[in-house]
Amino acid sequence: MTRSILYQSSKYDGSVNYRWQAQLEYENSHLIILYTPPNTPYSGRRSGILRYPFRSYFWTDRWYNVNQTFLGQDHAELRHYINLGTPAVFRDGAVSFVDLDLDFDMDNRWNLTLLDEDEYAAHSRQFAYPRPIRHRVDEAVQEIRRRVRERAWPFASGLQGPRIRIRPFYWSDLERMDAWQGSYGPFDDPWLIPSPGTSERHYWFANYLDAPICRLYAIEQLDGELIGHLSLREITRGSQARLGIGFAPLAVGQGFGTETLQTFLPYYFEVLGFERMVLDVAASNQRAVRVYQKIGFRPSGEHFRGTDDEVYQWLEDGPHFASLRRFFRRTGWGFQQLHYDMELSHQNWQQQAAVQNQMPNRP
C-alpha cells in the first residue's frame, strides 16, 4: 500500500523552502525514492502546482538529492534537477533536508549546468556557512560531475522509437510485471524475480540499484503500457556490457525486440560510450537469434547450460519440437541446453546501420 510522505526542504536559517505531499515508492537503509504525481500542489517560499510527475532520490549519506522528471510532448525526455543539500532525514512521515542553494540541471542529452552560484555566495556570507559545510558542498559538486561523466545511476535518458519508449526501471514496475497476462512457452527464458512482498525481492532490486556493473531499463508502449525490460550487466565502463532483454508473453513476436535494440543501440554506443555489446541466447530461441543477427550481432562462441528436466519431457512428448532436440543434451550432471555467445562491436553496428539506412522502404 502506498504511503503519503511529506517532502520538505528548508533553508539554513530554518525557514521553509518547499513542501508537498508525495508517495513513498521505495526505501532501504540509505536510499529513499518518492513519487510525486502530476498536478500536485506545493507551498513554501512560493506556491503553485507541479504539473509533471517525477521521482525524487534521497540518500542519507550524500549531500545532494535528485528530482527526475519526464518532460516533452510525449513525456519521453528525462530532466534531472539536482539539489545540493544536507543528507536526507526520514522521520515522522516526512523526508527533509536543508537546501544549500546550489543546483544542477541536466537535460536528456546529459548537458549539465550549475545554477544559483550567486545565491550560494550570498547565503554563505549571510548565514556564515561553516567551513565543513562549504567543504561538503564542494565535494558534492565534484561527485555529481563525476557520476554524470560515468553515466551512473540514477542519471539516465529517455529514449523513444516508433512504438516504444525506453526509460529507467522503477520499483513499481515489478508490480506491473506481476500483472502480465498470458504464459511463456516451454523454451522461453523469462526473468526470474523473487515473489512479491518478500525480502528477497527487495534485496534483488537494491542490488541492481547499488551495483556499478548493472543498469536496468523498462520498455513500454507509447500509451504507457509496460511490455518488457532491458538490462546491462557485467559492465566494464568504456568497453562492454552484457545485454539482457525480455518481454511480456503477449508482446512476444510483434517486432518489439528489433525496435527496442534499434532504439537503444545508438544510445549505448554513442552516449554511454561502449565499444562492444555481448550476450548469450538459447539456441532453441530461433526467433531471438534471427533478431540479433539482423541487428548485426556475430557469433563468438557457444556453451551448454543446465536446464529443467521438464524441458526434456516437452521435447520427448511434442513431435513438433523435434527440430529443437539438437540443441539439448543429457549428461551425468543433468539435462543441458545449448547457448550461443554473440557480440556486436561499435564498428559493426555502424556498418549494419548504414546498410539498413540504404535499403528501400517496403510497404
Q: How far is CA 210 from the centre of its chain?
A: 12
Residues of the domain holding 46: 3-149
User: Which range has the worst mean pLDDT, 72-76, 111-115, 248-252?
Assistant: 72-76
pLDDT, one tens digit per residue, over 223-243 is 999 999 999 999 998 899 999
pLDDT tens across 293-304, in order?
999 999 999 999
Classify residue 277: in a domain, yes or no.
yes
33 membership: H or E segment, kind and range: strand 31-36
Quick one: 171 and 129 in the same domain?
Answer: no
Euclidean distance between CA atoms 22 and 2, whole angstroms: 10
**Is the model's pTM score more than 0.95?**
no
Mind listing the pLDDT tens digit for each residue in 339-354?
999 999 999 999 888 7
Task: Tell how far CA 99 is from the center of its chain.
Answer: 27
Residue 319, helix vs strand vs coil: helix
**250 CB-near residues (< 8 Å, 6+ apart):** 180, 181, 182
Q: Yes or no: say if 237 and 181 are a contact pair by the CB < 8 Å rule.
A: no
Q: What is the DSSP letter of 268?
A: I
On whether residue 320 sits in a domain, the answer given is no
Residue 9 belongs to some domain of the structure: yes
- Same domain assignment for residues 144 and 197: no
Residue 224 region, left (φ>0) first, then alpha (ψ -120 to 50), else beta?
A: left
**pLDDT for 321:** 77
Return the C-alpha cell found at 253. 513476436
The answer on 130 and 256 residing in a single domain is no
Go through the chain and tell me how many residues it has.
363
Taken in order 174, 178, 181, 185, is the CA torsion positive or negative?
positive
Same structural domain for residues 141 and 194?
A: no
Question: Does pLDDT of 253 surpass 50?
Answer: yes
C-beta of residue 219 within 8 angstroms of C-beta of residue 41: no
250 Rama sector, left if φ>0, alpha if ψ -120 to 50, beta otherwise: alpha
- Confidence class of residue 363 from pLDDT cuts 50, 70 and 90? very low
| pLDDT exceeds cutoff 50 at 331 | yes
| Number of structural domains found in the chain | 2
Question: What does the block give as the cell for 15?
Answer: 525557514
Residue 125 sits in the same domain as residue 201:
no
Same domain, 209 and 350: yes
Q: Locate 188 and state its grid cell.
A: 522461453
Q: How far apart are CA 164 and CA 229, in angstroms?
A: 12
Q: What's the rounded Cα separation, in Å, for the pair 311 and 314? A: 5
Which helix or strand (DSSP H or E) is residue 59 part of? strand 54-59
